[in-house]
Structure formats: C-alpha cells, structure tokens
Amino acid sequence: MADPTYKNGGITRDIGIYVLLLILAGVQFIIAYQNISSTQMFARMLAVAVIEGGVALLYFMDLRENRGLRWFVLIFAIGVLLGLQYGWTDSFRLLDGVRWAQ
C-alpha cells in the first residue's frame, strides 16, 4: 500500500522544486567562474550544495512529511560529517611538511 504522506503536494509543486534545483545547480556553475580563492569557492559551493541537498531531501524524498525520520537522518548525518572533519588538521600537517601523528 502506498504511504499516504505521498498524497500531499502535486506535480506543480514537483516541477517548481525541479526548477529551483536547476537554478541552484546553475548558481554552482556561476560560482566556478568567479575570480575568488579556493577557500571562498569551497565555502560557497558547499553552501549551495547543502541547500540543494536539503531541498531534495525535504521535497523529493518527502522528509518534510515525517518529523521523526527527519531528525533521525539530520542528527545521524551531522554526527558522521563532524566525525569525518576530525581528520582535517592532519591534512594541514602534510601541507606544512610535519610528520603524521603517531
């Protein structure tokens, strides 16, 4: 049986979200041609990608309709991403020619 939450919204909303995602993807291509540093470019690209991903999760994957699942996914994803960021400092060690942590 289909999940009744999917009954909400309609094709008009889906097309609107699709157009929004196309625009956001276009913004990323514009950022790529900006004369800015790699750090600034990374920050802007990441910001747009997170917004894009969020919109897709909420509307295409219908997380908007299920509050419990939304929090579960959000907390889990942030935990994993923060855990992965723990290693960033070691990449700077490599840049500075410092030996890896033992």
Torsion angle in degrees (nearest 10) through CA of 54, 57, 63, 69: -90
* Distance of closest approach, residue 60 Cβ to another protein, in angstroms: 4
Structure tokens at 72: 């579960």
52 binds another protein (CB under 8 A): yes
Q: CA 90 to CA 19: how far, in whole Å?
A: 40
By CB under 8 A, name the one of 1, 37, 99, 101 that touches another protein.
1
Q: How many other β-carbons are positioned within 10 Å of the β-carbon of residue 102?
A: 3
Binding site for another protein (CB under 8 A): 1-3, 6-7, 10-11, 14-15, 18, 21-22, 25, 28-29, 31-33, 38, 41-42, 45-46, 48-49, 52-53, 56-57, 60-61, 66, 68-69, 72-73, 76-77, 80-81, 84-85, 87-88, 90-92, 94-95
